Amino acid sequence: MTRDEILAAVREGRSLQGADLRGASLYGANLRRADLRRADLYGANLRGADLQGADLQGADLYGADLQAANLYGADLYWVDLQGVDLQGADLQGANLRRANLYGADLRRANLYGADLRGADLQGADLYGADLYGADLYGAKLRGAYLLGVYVNDDQLKRADWS
Protein backbone atom coordinates (compact mmCIF):
# COMPACT_ATOMS: atom_id res chain seq x y z
CA MET A 1 0.00 0.00 0.00
CA THR A 2 1.14 3.52 -0.67
CA ARG A 3 1.32 6.21 2.01
CA ASP A 4 -1.76 7.92 0.56
CA GLU A 5 -3.75 4.66 0.57
CA ILE A 6 -2.80 3.99 4.19
CA LEU A 7 -3.74 7.50 5.32
CA ALA A 8 -7.04 7.36 3.39
CA ALA A 9 -7.93 4.04 5.07
CA VAL A 10 -7.26 5.54 8.52
CA ARG A 11 -9.25 8.71 7.73
CA GLU A 12 -12.20 6.60 6.58
CA GLY A 13 -11.99 4.39 9.68
CA ARG A 14 -11.14 1.26 7.68
CA SER A 15 -9.18 -1.49 9.41
CA LEU A 16 -5.58 -2.20 8.43
CA GLN A 17 -5.59 -5.38 10.48
CA GLY A 18 -2.96 -7.79 9.18
CA ALA A 19 -1.87 -5.37 6.43
CA ASP A 20 1.58 -5.68 4.86
CA LEU A 21 3.11 -2.27 5.59
CA ARG A 22 6.75 -3.34 5.67
CA GLY A 23 9.10 -0.42 5.15
CA ALA A 24 6.22 2.06 4.82
CA SER A 25 7.18 5.73 4.99
CA LEU A 26 4.72 7.19 7.50
CA TYR A 27 6.89 9.95 8.90
CA GLY A 28 4.68 12.36 10.89
CA ALA A 29 1.49 10.62 9.70
CA ASN A 30 -1.84 10.95 11.51
CA LEU A 31 -2.70 7.38 12.48
CA ARG A 32 -4.82 8.19 15.53
CA ARG A 33 -7.02 5.31 16.66
CA ALA A 34 -5.96 3.24 13.62
CA ASP A 35 -6.67 -0.50 13.67
CA LEU A 36 -3.24 -1.96 12.98
CA ARG A 37 -3.67 -5.26 14.81
CA ARG A 38 -1.19 -7.87 13.57
CA ALA A 39 -0.01 -5.46 10.83
CA ASP A 40 3.49 -6.02 9.46
CA LEU A 41 5.29 -2.70 10.04
CA TYR A 42 8.76 -4.23 9.90
CA GLY A 43 11.27 -1.42 9.26
CA ALA A 44 8.55 1.23 8.82
CA ASN A 45 9.39 4.90 9.30
CA LEU A 46 6.92 6.13 11.93
CA ARG A 47 9.13 8.90 13.26
CA GLY A 48 6.95 11.63 14.74
CA ALA A 49 3.76 9.78 13.73
CA ASP A 50 0.58 10.29 15.76
CA LEU A 51 -0.57 6.84 16.88
CA GLN A 52 -2.55 8.04 19.89
CA GLY A 53 -5.08 5.37 20.86
CA ALA A 54 -4.06 3.11 17.95
CA ASP A 55 -4.57 -0.65 18.27
CA LEU A 56 -1.29 -2.34 17.43
CA GLN A 57 -1.87 -5.65 19.24
CA GLY A 58 0.39 -8.33 17.81
CA ALA A 59 1.91 -5.99 15.20
CA ASP A 60 5.47 -6.52 14.01
CA LEU A 61 7.40 -3.28 14.50
CA TYR A 62 10.85 -4.89 14.48
CA GLY A 63 13.38 -2.39 13.12
CA ALA A 64 10.80 0.43 12.88
CA ASP A 65 11.65 4.05 13.65
CA LEU A 66 9.24 5.42 16.26
CA GLN A 67 11.43 8.25 17.49
CA ALA A 68 9.27 11.05 18.96
CA ALA A 69 6.08 9.19 18.00
CA ASN A 70 2.87 9.84 19.92
CA LEU A 71 1.71 6.47 21.26
CA TYR A 72 -0.31 7.93 24.12
CA GLY A 73 -2.81 5.29 25.23
CA ALA A 74 -1.93 2.96 22.33
CA ASP A 75 -2.47 -0.78 22.66
CA LEU A 76 0.87 -2.49 22.05
CA TYR A 77 0.04 -5.79 23.72
CA TRP A 78 2.45 -8.54 22.67
CA VAL A 79 4.15 -6.30 20.07
CA ASP A 80 7.68 -6.93 18.77
CA LEU A 81 9.64 -3.71 19.40
CA GLN A 82 13.04 -5.38 19.65
CA GLY A 83 15.79 -2.85 18.99
CA VAL A 84 13.26 -0.19 17.95
CA ASP A 85 14.08 3.52 18.27
CA LEU A 86 11.47 4.97 20.65
CA GLN A 87 13.69 7.83 21.77
CA GLY A 88 11.51 10.68 23.05
CA ALA A 89 8.28 8.80 22.26
CA ASP A 90 5.15 9.46 24.29
CA LEU A 91 3.94 6.10 25.61
CA GLN A 92 1.99 7.54 28.52
CA GLY A 93 -0.74 5.12 29.57
CA ALA A 94 0.11 2.71 26.74
CA ASN A 95 -0.52 -1.01 27.06
CA LEU A 96 2.89 -2.66 26.61
CA ARG A 97 2.05 -5.90 28.41
CA ARG A 98 4.25 -8.76 27.22
CA ALA A 99 5.83 -6.51 24.58
CA ASN A 100 9.32 -7.35 23.35
CA LEU A 101 11.41 -4.22 23.97
CA TYR A 102 14.71 -6.09 24.12
CA GLY A 103 17.50 -3.63 23.32
CA ALA A 104 15.04 -0.85 22.46
CA ASP A 105 16.11 2.80 22.63
CA LEU A 106 13.71 4.44 25.11
CA ARG A 107 15.89 7.40 26.06
CA ARG A 108 13.76 10.24 27.39
CA ALA A 109 10.57 8.35 26.53
CA ASN A 110 7.42 9.12 28.50
CA LEU A 111 6.15 5.84 29.97
CA TYR A 112 4.21 7.48 32.78
CA GLY A 113 1.45 5.10 33.88
CA ALA A 114 2.23 2.57 31.12
CA ASP A 115 1.37 -1.10 31.62
CA LEU A 116 4.68 -2.96 31.25
CA ARG A 117 3.66 -6.17 33.03
CA GLY A 118 5.69 -9.04 31.64
CA ALA A 119 7.45 -6.86 29.06
CA ASP A 120 11.01 -7.73 28.04
CA LEU A 121 13.17 -4.64 28.59
CA GLN A 122 16.49 -6.50 28.82
CA GLY A 123 19.30 -4.41 27.43
CA ALA A 124 16.96 -1.48 26.73
CA ASP A 125 18.32 2.06 27.08
CA LEU A 126 15.94 3.92 29.42
CA TYR A 127 18.20 6.89 30.12
CA GLY A 128 16.04 9.76 31.43
CA ALA A 129 12.78 7.92 30.76
CA ASP A 130 9.71 8.65 32.88
CA LEU A 131 8.47 5.36 34.33
CA TYR A 132 6.67 6.90 37.26
CA GLY A 133 3.40 5.10 37.89
CA ALA A 134 4.21 2.43 35.30
CA ASP A 135 3.32 -1.15 36.24
CA LEU A 136 6.57 -3.12 36.07
CA TYR A 137 5.26 -6.37 37.58
CA GLY A 138 7.30 -9.17 36.03
CA ALA A 139 9.00 -6.84 33.54
CA LYS A 140 12.44 -8.18 32.62
CA LEU A 141 14.98 -5.46 33.37
CA ARG A 142 18.25 -7.39 33.41
CA GLY A 143 20.92 -5.35 31.67
CA ALA A 144 18.64 -2.35 31.12
CA TYR A 145 20.30 1.07 31.35
CA LEU A 146 18.39 2.96 34.04
CA LEU A 147 20.46 6.08 34.70
CA GLY A 148 18.26 9.13 35.29
CA VAL A 149 15.02 7.11 35.15
CA TYR A 150 12.02 8.53 37.00
CA VAL A 151 10.76 5.56 39.02
CA ASN A 152 10.28 4.59 42.65
CA ASP A 153 11.76 1.65 44.55
CA ASP A 154 8.42 -0.12 44.95
CA GLN A 155 8.00 -0.26 41.20
CA LEU A 156 11.48 -1.72 40.73
CA LYS A 157 10.87 -4.38 43.38
CA ARG A 158 8.05 -5.79 41.22
CA ALA A 159 10.33 -6.23 38.21
CA ASP A 160 12.14 -9.43 37.20
CA TRP A 161 15.91 -8.98 37.55
CA SER A 162 16.94 -12.59 36.84
* pLDDT at residue 157 in the model: 92
Quick: pLDDT tens for 40-72. 999 999 999 999 999 999 999 999 999 999 999
* pLDDT at residue 39 in the model: 97
Query: Can you tell me the mean pLDDT for 79-86?
Result: 95
* pLDDT at residue 30 in the model: 98
pTM over 0.75: yes
CATH number for 1-162 (one of 3.30.70.20, 2.160.20.80, 3.40.630.10, 3.40.640.10): it is: 2.160.20.80
Beta strands (DSSP E) in the chain are none
Quick: pLDDT tens for 111-137. 999 999 999 999 999 999 999 999 999
Phi, psi of 160 (to 5 degrees): -100, 115
